[in-house]
């Protein structure tokens, strides 16, 4: 049986604070339709796709509340779910989740082509800080607004419409952490979806990392982790000038050799697609990265046994 | 205090089975001298640098014994140690180690500029097989000839002549395993040395991976792991046509941004150098990859809790 899935990365241009929810949703539906028109069975949207990247602002009260979804789906986003089910296209999408108990998470879900939510992931590697940086116009307050994900790194075995692919989800900064990829690959992950909002520069003028270097970093980690875990990866940006703060693009689809097979050319709404042959994972999974044959976890204890760095003593 | 070390990668062309030990050692001394002439304080040689890559042959008895060092240093290699101490240049070198108890390891040592051995590592991620592949002209018998390394992944804090750098060592295939890099980075590693012998193609004609793709893989994993662990990396090949089997080159020095700052152009004996500013690690170690602030080991338990893949159940 052929195990080829056509996948689309639905890069989004910026969602301004002033953009209405329905305007953003219409853009997402247009991207979904373009993905479907190109034959994709899975469309991957960015992190926090329905809103601006609100952790850049110090907010509270109703304004902060307005960025969270208290149910998924809900009336605001239902048209996306409806259109996807109509087109028989599934999707990954990131959003701010508020639970009935009032917990907030930076969350992504996987929606099958029949409209069922078949997977949920809550971001574990939250960057930024709890307290705002004094004097900074732009903040990174993910550690303030979200709790650390409490679902671990679950991989999901999907159905026939996705060729029974084992799919993993990460969110933004997670993709820079090899522990996250490996936790998914140890479940046989064949396809990794990750949406992101990554700064193109320090909006407060504090460093010298160019947008090119940041885009290189973003692609490098996806390429190497896809290779080292013998899986496909779809990495999807919200890009461009959002509320005066720049976001990199560089959305890409990467094969199990770590090669970019498709990449976005703009900082705007843009669909790219690739045919992902899941059986291309087998070369890595059975040879170079045959975990059962080659991993030596008895020597990995620092990875789970400590959080930060413990430096060695000086040699005499 | 400036913390810049000039480092040399001493890529080696092939060591044929027919090459004499002293001939190989003379080439290594010439590389060391060229590194010293260019001002390097550390010269990094490949894996199994004193011999041909003998795990490609099914061997036993005296012939197999001849590829192991029963002491380090020993009379065969003493001239390299002497010349290095004279030039006040330290080095990393890989070799087949036979212990007094008769255990065999694929080993690397770190020799300080004063000639003292300040670090030893025994390869943990042994590729290949115990039993020879029937009918194959060329084997990969590392699992037959070597025991799994039993020293873990120690990082070493070096002395003033290397600006107190915290140095880690890996060997060949280890560099493709993010667990190995992370285990070292959790000790504050600032500079990673890794020598390798990596096939340029399947010498038995069994696959379709080009030398270009294999070189890309070799560099990709070093670049991404250097970036994700905020360290410098020096990756050094034994290259070229060795006993009829091709080895990739692509030796490189990589900065903590994952950028290649120097790379070999040949498949022969070749010195490349770079000034490694250890303080460039601080950007990553204190921000993006501040482990204490951002790692979440409570969710990494699969990494140490299982060896191979455990696939998820199918979602209903």
Domain-embedded: residue A301: no
pLDDT for residue A316 is more than 80: no
Q: What is the pLDDT of residue B93?
A: 98
Mutate to test the interface with B, among A171, A213, A248, A299 (most CBs of B within 10 A): A299
Catalytic residue among B97, B123, B276, B281: B123
Domain-embedded: residue B312: no
We report the CATH number of the domain holding residue B271 as 3.60.110.10
**Structure confidence at residue B302 as a pLDDT band (50, 70, 90):** very high
Q: Which of B227, B309, B314 is facing A157, going by the closest CB pair? A: B314
Domain-embedded: residue B311: no
Helix (H) or strand (E) holding A146: none
Which residues make Cβ contacts (< 8 Å) with residue A246, sequence separation at least 6? A199, A200, A201, A203, A211, A240
Q: What is the pLDDT of residue B61?
A: 96
pLDDT in tens, B96-125: 999 999 999 999 999 999 999 999 999 999
How far A231 CA lies from chain B's nearest CA (Å)?
Answer: 13
**Structure confidence at residue B208 as a pLDDT band (50, 70, 90):** confident
Q: What is the pLDDT of residue A204?
A: 85
Beta partners for residue A48, in sequence order: none
**Structure confidence at residue B14 as a pLDDT band (50, 70, 90):** very high
pLDDT for residue B316 is more than 80: no
pLDDT in tens, A130-140: 999 999 989 99
* Separation between Cα atoms, residue B71 and residue B291, nearest integer Å: 39
Q: What is the pLDDT of residue B205?
A: 82
Domain-embedded: residue B35: yes
Region B76-88 average pLDDT: 98
Domain-embedded: residue B145: yes
Region A149-156 average pLDDT: 98
| Residues of the domain holding B83 | 4-305
Domain-embedded: residue B313: no
Q: What is the pLDDT of residue A315?
A: 56
Mutate to test the interface with A, among B150, B158, B169, B186 (most CBs of A within 10 A): B186
pLDDT in tens, B156-192: 999 999 999 999 999 999 999 999 999 999 999 999 9
Catalytic residue among B172, B252, B276, B281: B172
pLDDT in tens, A184-230: 999 999 999 999 999 999 888 877 799 999 999 999 999 999 999 99
Structurally, chain A folds into a number of domains equal to 1
Q: Which of B157, B187, B188 is facing A315, going by the closest CB pair? A: B157
Domain-embedded: residue B27: yes
Q: What is the pLDDT of residue B150?
A: 98
| B86 is a catalytic site residue | no
Q: Which of B118, B127, B228 is facing A176, going by the closest CB pair? A: B228
| B123 is a catalytic site residue | yes
Does A315 sit within 8 Å of B118, measured CB to CB? yes
Domain-embedded: residue A218: yes
**Structure confidence at residue B203 as a pLDDT band (50, 70, 90):** confident
Chain B CB contacts of A311 under 8 Å are: 155, 157, 166, 187-188
pLDDT in tens, B262-279: 999 999 999 999 999 999
pLDDT for residue A114 is more than 90: yes
pLDDT for residue B315 is more than 60: no
Q: What is the pLDDT of residue A138?
A: 93
ipTM above 0.90 for this complex = yes
Region A288-307 average pLDDT: 98
User: Mind giving me the DSSP string for chain B?
Assistant: ---EEEEEEEEB----TTS-HHHHHHHHHHHHHHHHHTT-SEEE--TTTTS--GGGS---HHHHHTTEESSSS-TTTHHHHHHHHHHT-EEEEEEEEE-TTS-EEEEEEEE-TTS-EEEEEE-----S-SSPPTT-SS---HHHH-PPPSS---EEE--GGGTT-EEEEEEGGGGG-HHHHHHHHTTT--EEEEEE--BSS-TTS-----HHHHHHHHHHHHHHHHHHTT-EEEEEEB-EEETTEEE----EEE-TTS-EEEE--SSSSEEEEEEEEGGGHHHHHHTTT-HHHH--GGG-HHHHH-SS--PPPBP-
Region B300-311 average pLDDT: 98
- Decide the pairing of beta strands B4-11 and B42-44: parallel
pLDDT in tens, A62-111: 999 999 999 999 999 999 999 999 999 999 999 999 999 999 999 999 99
| A88 is a catalytic site residue | no
């Amino acid at each position: 049986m052929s195990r080829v899935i056509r996948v689309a990365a639905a890069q989004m241009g910026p969602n301004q604070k002033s953009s209405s929810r329905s305007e953003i949703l219409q853009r997402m539906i247009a991207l979904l339709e373009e993905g479907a028109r190109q034959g994709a069975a899975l469309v991957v949207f960015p992190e926090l796709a329905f809103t601006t990247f609100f952790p850049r602002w110090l907010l509270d009260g109703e304004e902060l509340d307005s960025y969270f979804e208290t149910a998924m789906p809900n009336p605001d986003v239902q048209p996306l779910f409806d259109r996807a089910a109509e087109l028989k296209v599934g999707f990954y999408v990131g959003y701010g989740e508020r639970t009935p108990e009032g917990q907030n998470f930076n969350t992504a879900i996987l929606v099958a082509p029949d409209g069922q939510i078949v997977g949920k992931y809550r971001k574990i590697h939250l960057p930024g800080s709890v307290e705002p940086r004094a004097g900074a116009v732009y903040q990174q307050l993910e550690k303030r607004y979200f709790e650390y994900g409490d679902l671990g790194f679950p991989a999901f075995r999907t159905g026939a419409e996705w060729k029974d692919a084992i799919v993993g989800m990460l969110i933004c900064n997670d993709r820079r952490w090899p522990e996250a990829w490996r936790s998914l690959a140890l479940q046989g992950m064949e396809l990794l979806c990750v949406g992101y909002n990554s700064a193109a520069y320090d909006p407060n003028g504090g460093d010298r990392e160019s947008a090119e270097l940041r885009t290189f970093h973003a692609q490098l980690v996806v390429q190497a982790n896809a290779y080292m875990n013998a899986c496909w990866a779809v990495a999807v940006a919200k890009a461009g000038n959002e509320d005066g703060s720049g976001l990199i693009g560089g959305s890409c689809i990467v094969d199990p050799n770590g090669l970019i097979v498709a990449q976005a050319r703009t900082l705007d709404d843009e669909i790219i697609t690739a045919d992902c042959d899941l059986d291309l994972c087998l070369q890595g999974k059975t040879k170079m990265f045959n975990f059962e044959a080659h991993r030596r976890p008895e020597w990995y204890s620092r990875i789970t046994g400590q959080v930060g760095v413990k430096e060695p003593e000086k040699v005499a």
